[in-house]
Amino acid sequence: LAISKQLTELMGGQIGAESEIGVGSTFWFTIRCIKSTIQQTRNSAGSQLQLENSSTPFSLDSLRELCIASGVRALVAEDNITNQKVALAMLRKLGLRVDAVANGREALEALRSIPYDLVIMDVQMPEVDGFEATRIVRSVRGAVLNPSIPIFAMTAHAMQGDREKCLAAGMNDFIAKPVTFQALAQLLNRWLERMDFSTRSCSTRPFCATGKLEPEAPVFALAELLERLMGDHPLAQTVVNAFLLDVPNQLRELETLIEGHDPVALGRLAHRLRGAAASAGATALAQRAEELEHAAANSEPAAIRIRLRELDEHFEAFKCELLNSSFLKQKGPEK
Amino acid sequence: MRTLIVEDDFTSRLLLEQLLREYGPTESAANGRQAVEAVSRALNLRQPYDLICIDIIMPEMDGQEALQEIRALETKHGKNSGAGAKIVMTTVSRDKTDIIKAFREQCDGYLLKPVGKPALLDCLKELGLPI
């Protein structure tokens, strides 16, 4: 009782007891608290209920729209491949652009070269765990692009101690495993509305809802291509057709080189693809190839894998754009 | 005008071939080694190239090394500076040090990639090639 008295007084409260012999006793205390702004989770089911009851209602559609319009880009760090896939699928469904890495070391690498908006990180991972990775992100030695990037922990044992450990390591929030779609949406909604996306760089431009790219660099710069070829439409078609035929081979070769851990050869191939894309007016793809070239020059395996996947996506977007345009069918004006 | 195009990327090579073929026969090589072989063959046949467009970053032998060897071959055949092919370096990099190095190895001009027809024609005119 003496200890409890000290504790309650420290917390600005009082303590007391009322007792009646033969009837019973009532022990009571009061303390002053500030209402929490962060919704903490106890377990997945409990957390959902708690969140549904306490947070302001929001629509999934508007959250998705916000994610797409702002081009929100997330990094998932999770060593379990199944959990990783589930998280990626959920985040994509919410309209985010997402990449995945398998441990804290790779997460750090990716954060050094790619401007993400948020990180969702498993706390228990091989090599560098989530706590350690977060501490490094927040420190000067981390040398990441944004040391104050929001980091959300994924933790299977949402115990009180774990939560404190997350926050102490510098994580901003957390989500209980197994991650549910609703809990994830709540988490993002809570954070995204506070984030400012007005000053983002072009390299984080979003995919639009149809899966097509909306980068500042055009997917297919037809006008520029025609200008370069002095209006020679058939020549432009020849060049673009050659490019369409050749790129799948180049992407396969790049894929093979990743397995072989040969960054020099990889950089050279990325350089070649960059030249090809530039020649064919695939401006955005050329930009991505250049980024892969840089990642290879700096020998960053995680960034290399992410960049390569981006290249795949951008090539798909390029094909999409061509199929939707009449460029390849059109008989251009005679030169 | 006989042209050799040295370029490891298929798309860029095709583009140059298409742009240049109306001015005379073109041949192509995919890396520096093939380029040196082609130049050697042409010199032996006494049908030297008038123009060589060469990429700088290529596998096997890069453009700079090829440039040196090509100029050495020409000298061996009695074609000293000025009498050899006009060599135009193509590069996607805006890195001036690469360009300066290439000039030191005696290239005659450079074109930034993606190569456009107006820039190509300007360059060829400046080099006094028959177009």
pLDDT digits (tens, 9 = 90+) for B14-70: 999 999 999 999 999 999 999 999 999 999 999 999 999 999 888 788 888 899 999
Q: Which pairing describes strands A14-20 and A24-30: parallel, antiparallel, or unpaired?
A: antiparallel
Chain A residues with CB under 8 Å of B11 CB are 239, 242-243, 246, 275-276, 279-280
**pLDDT tens, position by position, for chain A (335 residues)?**
778 888 888 777 888 888 888 888 888 888 877 765 554 444 444 333 334 444 556 788 888 888 887 888 999 999 988 889 899 999 998 989 999 999 999 999 899 988 899 999 998 888 888 999 999 999 888 888 888 899 999 987 656 677 778 888 889 988 888 888 888 998 998 888 777 665 543 333 333 333 333 446 789 999 999 999 999 999 999 999 999 999 999 999 998 888 777 888 899 899 999 999 999 999 999 988 998 998 888 888 888 888 888 898 889 889 988 888 888 887 655 44
Residue A208: predicted pLDDT? 32
The closest alpha carbon to A71, from A176, A173, A216, A226, belongs to A216
Which residue in A228, A229, A246 is closest to B11 by CB distance? A246
Are B10 and A246 an interchain contact pair (Cβ–Cβ within 8 Å)?
Answer: yes
Residue A79 vs residues A102, A117, A121, A171, B106: alpha-carbon distances, Å: 4, 21, 10, 18, 54
Which residue in A228, A265, A279 is closest to B117 by CB distance? A228
Are A279 and B57 an interchain contact pair (Cβ–Cβ within 8 Å)?
Answer: no
- A77 touches A130 (CB < 8 A): yes
Rounded CA separation A214/A68 (Å): 10
Helices A301-324, A263-279: axis angle to 10 degrees equals 20
pTM (2 d.p.): 0.60
Chain A residues with CB under 8 Å of B55 CB are 275
B97-110, pLDDT tens digit by residue? 777 777 877 889 88
Site from A246, A272, A287 to mutate, B interface, most B CB atoms within 10 angstroms:
A272
Q: Which of residues 295-324 of A touch B (CB under 8 A)?
A: none
Give the percent of chain B with pLDDT over 90: 70
Which residue in B8, B12, B18 is closest to A235 by CB distance? B18
Q: In angstroms, how far is CA A229 from the centroid of its own chain?
A: 39
Q: Which pairing describes strands B109-112 and B86-91: parallel, antiparallel, or unpaired?
A: parallel
Distance from CA of A320 to the nearest CA of B (A): 19
* 3-state SS class at B90: strand
Rounded CA separation A67/A41 (Å): 24
Looking at the complex, does the CB of residue A96 fall below 8 Å from at least one CB of chain B? no
Q: Is A203 exposed, middle or buried (0-12, 13-18, 19+ CB in 10 A)?
A: middle
Rounded CA separation A30/A16 (Å): 9
Closest residue in chain B to residue A245, using alpha carbons only: B11
Are A279 and B115 an interchain contact pair (Cβ–Cβ within 8 Å)?
Answer: yes
Amino acid in position B78 = G
Distance from CA of B88 to the nearest CA of A (A): 16
Residue A198: predicted pLDDT? 56
Q: What angle do CA A315, A316, A321 make, to 5 degrees?
A: 95
* 3-state SS class at A220: coil
Stronger pLDDT, B8 or A68, i.e. the higher one: B8
- B6 touches B65 (CB < 8 A): no
- A192 touches A67 (CB < 8 A): yes
